[in-house]
Amino acid sequence: MTRGTRGMFRTKTVEQSIQDTEEPEHALKKSLSALDLTVFGVGVVIGTGIFVLTGKVAKQNAGPAVALAFVLAGIVCGLAALCYAEFAATVPVAGSAYTFSYATLGELPAWIIGWDLILELALGCAVVAVGWSGYIRSLLDNAGWHLPAVLSGPHGGTFGFDILACALVLALTVILVAGIKLSSRVTAVVVAVKVTVVLIVIVVGAFLINGDNYRPFIPPAQGTSGNNGLAAPLSQLIFGFTPSNFGVMGIFSAAAIVFFAFIGFDIVATAAEETRNPQHDVPRGILGSLAICTALYVGVSVVVTGMEKYSRLSTEAPLADAFKSRGQPFWAGLISFGAAIGLTTVCMILLLGQSRVFFAMSRDGLLPRFFSTVHPRFGTPYRSTILLGVVVAVVAGFTSIDVLAELVNIGTLFAFVVVALGVVILRRTRPDLPRAFRTPFVPAVPVLSVTASVWLMLNLPAETWLRFAAWMVLGVAVYFAYGRRHSRVGARNAS
């Protein structure tokens, strides 16, 4: 291996990563508990998906067996969560998968995953903010207040700026700058409202269930024509495999779709450095939030398919429309309110995760160190938070909700693969490290996590892979132009 190649794959020791968190100007304030982390996890995972995706997938892919699809997706996420929990407890440093890969795979892979996470979280936050804006405009319209079209975002190729989406991101940026504890309190209040709405929907819906709607629980399999060209899943282009709907295989196809409703639980790991007892609290936060979200998703899917025959469900607002069809317009309105409230916390926590990844990369010198300075009063990475908040606010203002969403999915799955591989590597290279939480059945669990994540990635359209590859190529170019020459690990190795 040449000297240059060694430089690209130089690792940052776990001890050095932890030592860097103790520098006064770059040390984040530790104030979070296991409950705070669990609230963050539930806050980012439970969004409009619970009110829309459950019924949509039931109608198009799995019928009442969509509940089993959520269980399968929860198991896939659980495999990744076990790997995240070990890493976050062993390396309680901001940056999540970026920091973990720096300690195991090396600098260039760490840069790639960090670059990937920045895109994933920025796009996710922007798209969620646009969705929130749509709900608020709908509520304003119902009250007789109408925003001018030019301030409602781009529609049908016409120019427009989404003032509500932009304002939301800027307001959340201010809250994040003011302190992680304040952010957690705001999140706790909103999540409490959101979960209460979901539980009310489940309880009320349970009294409106018709048992005949569950028959057949697993509808007979139906072939699909599939998409053509770059819009087709990569697995279809490589293997000639065309997915089917309904039947047993339909459950697996549905699991590949509903998996994306769980995206975000891994962001809990980005707050490890700001946790008072990360060795114990981070694993509890990750696994606890995932368990709660899986239970809520299964509960809602059982209710919606019991209230309305799966074949008659709408695809736009299936749960709300199911309540309307049963003569319950009040509960339908409550669902819309819960969805709007829920998106607020999703947006905040995506922005939180992105700022922590950017902060960690800046502290390592791979991005300008200027952005890794912590606010002397609030103890937050205020410079990186403000920069990213403004960028995301502008993107949200000019972005249509239906663009680039799949890039968020492929980025998350790529991070899952890296973290699972990292657990196996660190077990071999540093067996001496104290581990407050250990992933069980290594290497079986990490291997299963990698296999499941890659399978879901192959179910994404080929054009998504091309966009992802283009972003990665740009990232490698930035690394060689700036990051490699300013790396603090490289400077230490040279001295």
HEC states along 381-438? Answer: CHHHHHHHHHHHHHHHHHCCCCCCHHHHHHHHHHHHHHHHHHHHHHHHHCCCCCCCCC
pLDDT of 401: 53
pLDDT of 68: 94
pLDDT of 316: 63
> What is the rounded CA–CA span in Å between residue 156 and residue 145?
22
Using CA atoms, how far residue 57 sits from 61, 66, 312, 462, in Å, is: 5, 7, 12, 22
pLDDT of 168: 94
Task: Write out the DSSP string of 319-382.
Answer: HHHHHHHTT-HHHHHHHHHHHHHHHHHHHHHHHHHHHHHHHHHHHTTSS-GGGGPPPTTT-S-H
- Any idea which residue has 């840069």 for tokens? 111
Task: Write out the DSSP string of 266-286.
Answer: GGGGGGGGGBSSHHHHHHHHH
Question: Over the stretch 451-487, which tens digit does the pLDDT of each residue have?
Answer: 988 988 887 888 888 888 998 999 999 999 999 999 9
pLDDT of 1: 45
Burial (CB count within 10 angstroms: exposed 0-12, middle 13-18, buried 19+), residue 139: middle
Contact 290, 77 (CB under 8 A): yes
Using CA atoms, how far residue 459 sits from 218, 226, 254, 463, in Å, is: 22, 12, 11, 12
Question: Over the stretch 394-403, which tens digit does the pLDDT of each residue have?
Answer: 988 887 655 4
Question: Over the stretch 248-283, which tens digit does the pLDDT of each residue have?
Answer: 888 888 887 787 678 777 778 888 888 989 889 989
Please report which confidence band the pLDDT of residue 243 belongs to, taking 50, 70 and 90 as the band edges: low
- The predicted model gives 147-163 an average pLDDT of 76
pLDDT of 369: 92
Please report which confidence band the pLDDT of residue 179 belongs to, taking 50, 70 and 90 as the band edges: confident
∠ Cα 128 411 394 (to 5°): 40
Say what percent of the chain tops pLDDT 70: 92
Contact 133, 168 (CB under 8 A): yes
- The predicted model gives 68-87 an average pLDDT of 91
Please report which confidence band the pLDDT of residue 424 belongs to, taking 50, 70 and 90 as the band edges: very high
- Residues in Cβ contact with 394 at an 8 Å cutoff, skipping those fewer than 6 apart: 166
Residue 457 structure tokens: 């990635």
The domain ranges of the chain are 31-220+232-489
For residue 291, the one-letter residue type is A
- The predicted model gives 146-175 an average pLDDT of 83
What is the topology classification, in CATH, of domain 31-220+232-489?
Answer: Amino acid/polyamine transporter I (1.20.1740)
Q: What count of other Cβ atoms lies within 10 Å of the Cβ of residue 394? A: 15
User: What one-character DSSP code corresponds to residue 64?
Assistant: G
Burial code (b: 16+ CB inside 10 Å, e: under 16) for 25-50 equals ebebbbebbbebbbbbbbbbbbbbbb
pLDDT of 254: 85
Q: Is the dihedral of CA 448, 449, 454, 460 positive or negative?
A: positive
Query: Residue 78: what are its φ and ψ, rounded to 5°?
Result: -60, -40
pLDDT of 3: 47
Enumerate the β-bridge partners of residue 32: 275
> What is the rounded CA–CA span in Å between residue 397 and residue 10?
40
Question: Over the stretch 295-308, which tens digit does the pLDDT of each residue have?
Answer: 999 999 999 899 99
* Of 193 and 368, more confident: 368
Which of 89-103, 160-174, 312-326: highest mean pLDDT?
Answer: 160-174
Mean pLDDT computed over every residue of the chain: 85
